[in-house]
């Protein structure tokens, strides 16, 4: 009840009446000043479960962890040749697009990739020589494909990240295997998961925004469609009877000076082979990668607690072009 | 990037345009539905540091802990007679008021108690026979008085709560000793601390509100004053040259049907001797007690992280009669 404590908030710094949009922008700025890093911090060893929860999960802060999975056989066994020899004949699901953008905006639609079922060896052939096909190929099916279609190599990684499972008191909901073309891009979005993203080969570059940047990240509603190979090229087939999909309508790699997004301050982080990124729940992220990079990520369900309630409240305050969930 | 995940938020439940005050009230309601208890949960043993952080600190949820300090000598040694024998001659600071309300609203002012320095034995005499004085006496000085004026009995309790210090990665900022009249009341307020409140004798009753109830908790600005004994009664002496103090202008024990507070849903919790309440940072609380109750509380500094940023943002959105910090 110390009414005279030092008030470190903007109360003492801002006078006068602020409009709602100013308050929203101030939230983003204050979050940066209060607790967010300007670059993703790096730690050289896995944290204890308690430290992981207290330092990163609870405050919803990303961290790059080195030396977290040096013991994985995958690091030495997942060469192209070895993968071909071991699982080349397996039929797997590959996302194919003409542009590299799967689950992204194209021609004023939200366009999902063609999901092509093919021998993994054929995928590896195209990866080795992209001129073999006019599509851009990316293994990215996020249905825990490493425990499903790729289960024969699942034993080359840990089934879960021990210290994360202990910290969170649960096991991962999904373990996903990612491998593909250097032109493949994952468009900006957010997930309702705590995400541990392990790069096994090559590198991945993330453009990140905390949830408090939501006021700078515009959404629009789009008709959903799917790419379909057609003769010499691809066509977009509309999904009939499906409702419009809210999706982020900016790309951080393009000129955004005309958009509210131009005012946002992205945090960019490159994750190299052998490194793990903890990507907190509800962080917006855009991902690109080196050609032939391989990654494994673990999705742990997030807590729908006070942070989530506040985020949903924030979303409700945004203009109707923003604040939708995806 | 599962855009079709089940959206458990109010998106799917509310249609049409909501006004800001409706959104604020919805936040309070959604927080209750998402993660808050309707009564304070009880656990029968202290949690592990990790469980304490994950289940209670991070989600900012109160919990009543039993069997957390059965080993304290204080439980058997802090009888009135024993305390009189051991520290009766010590000079201590006691808050004295005519009403029982210290740091509360009276006569349209924010009135602090008279801080009277007296022999502890004299305080105990008045506690045993309140007719000896027309004031209401309460040992409540929150400057870590148990390590200061009452340091001679500090060894009867733990210097810190081990599992809390490990969880939070820090030691308490203050350890306070509370003892007083059954008419003494602590008016509704919030603290920037994680609070572990241990009742050694008697009982305390807390009226609690989570931070997301802020839209229902009105503040006003008041001129500060101090009670001063004057002849047969008390007068209020204005503090000159001090700025007005924002304070909550409702009392949960009175009829609030005319106030916005009448729409709030308090969570009431009685803490008995031998029990510990974890009272999360930024929770509003009003406290009353049995006559002669004794308590010890530990204040641990809170994290100024995402939850704090969101709370300050929420405060900024409230009408100017609300949302001020104290």
Instruction: Dump pLDDT digits (tens) for A95-136.
Output: 999 999 999 999 999 999 999 999 999 999 999 999 999 999
Token pair of A24, please?
């929203």
A166: which DSSP letter?
H
Query: What are the tens digits of pLDDT across the range B84-132?
Result: 999 999 999 999 999 999 999 999 999 999 999 999 999 999 999 999 9
Q: Does A221 lie at the interface with B, CB-CB under 8 angstroms?
A: no
Residue B323 belongs to a domain: no
Would the ipTM clear 0.95, i.e. be above it? no
Sign of CA dihedral B78, B79, B85, B87: positive
CA distance A233 to A225: 16
| DSSP letter for each residue of A250-282 | --TTS--TTSGGGG---EEEEEETTEEEEE-TT
CATH code for the domain of B189: 2.60.120.10
Query: What is the separation of C-alpha A323 from the centre of its chain, rounded to a whole number of angstroms?
Result: 18
When CB atoms are compared, the residue of A7, A26, A316 closest to B23 is A316
Nearest to A317 among B23, B142, B210 (CB): B23
Closest CA to A9 of B310, B245, B170, B299: B310
Range 2-41 of A in CB contact (< 8 A) with B: 2-3, 5, 7-11, 18, 20, 23, 26-27, 30-31, 34-35
Mutual angle of helices A306-317 and B306-317, in 10-degree steps: 40
| Cα gap B216→B210, rounded to integer Å | 11
**Residue of B4, B306, B307 to mutate, interface with A, max A Cβ within 10 Å:** B306
Q: Which of A310, A18, A299, A312 shows the shortest CA–CA distance to B306?
A: A310
As given in the structure block, the two tokens for residue A107 are 């021609």
Residue at A174 is within a domain: yes
Nearest to A309 among B34, B186, B308 (CB): B34
User: Is A264 part of a structural domain of the chain?
Assistant: yes
Q: Could you tell me if A198 and A273 are in contact, meaning their C-beta atoms sit under 8 angstroms apart?
A: no
**pLDDT at A6 > cutoff 60:** no
Q: How far is it, in rounded angstroms, from Cα A20 to Cα A9? A: 17
What are A52's two structure tokens?
A: 């992981």
Nearest residue of chain B to residue A19 (CA atoms): B317
User: What does each C-alpha distance from A136 to A96, A179, A233, B84 come to in angstroms?
Assistant: 5, 12, 12, 84
What residue numbers bound the domain in which A151 lies?
A: 10-317
Asked, for residue B3, whether it belongs to a domain, the answer is no
Reported as type and span, the H/E element at residue B311 is helix B306-317
- Domain presence at residue A325: no
End-to-end CA distance of chain A: 41
Per-residue pLDDT of chain B (326 residues; tens, 9 = 90+): 443 333 333 343 344 568 899 999 999 999 999 999 999 999 999 999 999 999 999 999 999 999 999 999 999 999 999 999 999 999 999 999 999 999 999 999 999 999 999 999 999 999 999 999 999 999 999 899 999 999 999 999 999 999 999 999 999 999 999 999 999 999 999 999 999 999 999 999 999 999 999 999 999 999 999 999 998 899 999 998 889 999 999 999 999 999 999 999 999 999 999 999 999 999 999 999 999 999 999 999 999 999 999 999 999 999 865 655 44
In whole angstroms, what is the distance from residue A69 CA to residue A82 CA?
20
Spatial distance between the Cα atoms of B292 and A175, rounded to a whole number of angstroms = 58
C-alpha–C-alpha distance, residues A40 and A266, integer Å: 11
> What kind and span of H or E run contains B25?
helix B20-34
How many beta-carbon pairs below 8 A join chains A and B? 167
Token output for B119: 């022999």
Write out the two tokens for A306. Answer: 């006070």
B1 in a structural domain = no
Q: Is residue B60 part of a domain?
A: yes
> What's the pLDDT score for residue B9?
39
Contacts of residue A18 in chain B, CB cutoff 8 Å? 316
The alpha-carbon gap from A8 to the nearest alpha carbon of chain B, in Å, equals: 9
Interface membership of A163 toward B (CB under 8 Å) = no
Is A243's Cβ below 8 Å from some Cβ in B?
A: no
> Whose CA is closest to B205, among B136, B74, B295, B143?
B295
**Which residues, in sequence order, are bridge partners of residue A155?**
none
A146 in a structural domain: yes
For the whole model, what pTM was predicted?
0.92
Average pLDDT score over chain A = 92
Could you give the CA distance from residue A36 to residue A32 in angstroms, rounded to a whole number?
5
* Residues shown for chain A: 326
Residue of A nearest to B1 (CA): A191
| Of B290, B271, B298, B266, residue with least CA distance to B188 | B266
Count of domains forming chain B: 1
Cβ contact B1–A325 (<8 Å) = no
């Amino acid at each position: 009840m110390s009414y005279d404590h030092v008030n470190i908030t903007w109360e003492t710094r801002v006078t006068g009446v602020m409009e709602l949009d100013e308050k929203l922008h101030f939230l983003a700025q204050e979050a940066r000043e209060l607790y967010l890093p300007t670059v993703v911090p790096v730690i050289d060893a896995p944290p204890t479960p308690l430290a992981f929860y207290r330092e990163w999960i609870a405050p919803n802060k990303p961290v790059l962890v080195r030396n977290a999975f040096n013991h994985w056989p995958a690091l030495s066994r997942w060469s192209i040749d070895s993968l071909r020899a071991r699982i080349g004949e397996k039929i797997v699901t590959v996302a194919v697009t003409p542009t590299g953008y799967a689950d992204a905006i194209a021609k004023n639609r939200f366009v999902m990739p063609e999901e092509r079922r093919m021998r993994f060896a054929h995928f590896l052939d195209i990866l080795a020589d992209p001129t073999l096909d006019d599509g851009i190929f990316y293994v990215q099916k996020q249905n825990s494909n490493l425990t499903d279609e790729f289960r024969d190599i699942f034993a080359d990684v840990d089934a879960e990240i021990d210290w994360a499972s202990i910290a969170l008191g649960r096991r991962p909901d999904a373990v996903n295997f990612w491998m593909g073309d250097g032109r493949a891009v994952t468009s900006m979005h957010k997930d309702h998961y705590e995400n541990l993203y392990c790069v096994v080969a090559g590198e991945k570059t993330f453009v990140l925004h905390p949830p408090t940047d939501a006021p700078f990240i515009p959404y629009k509603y789009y008709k959903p469609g799917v790419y379909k190979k057609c003769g010499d090229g691809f066509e977009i087939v509309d999904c009939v009877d499906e409702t419009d999909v809210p999706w982020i309508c900016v790309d951080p790699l393009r000129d955004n000076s005309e958009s509210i997004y131009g005012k946002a301050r992205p945090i960019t982080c490159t994750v190299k082979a052998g490194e793990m990124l903890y990507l907190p729940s509800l962080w917006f992220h855009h991902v690109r990668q080196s050609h032939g990079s391989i990654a494994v990520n673990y999705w742990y369900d997030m807590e729908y607690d006070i942070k989530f309630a506040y985020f949903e409240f924030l979303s409700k305050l945004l203009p109707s072009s923003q604040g939708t969930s995806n």
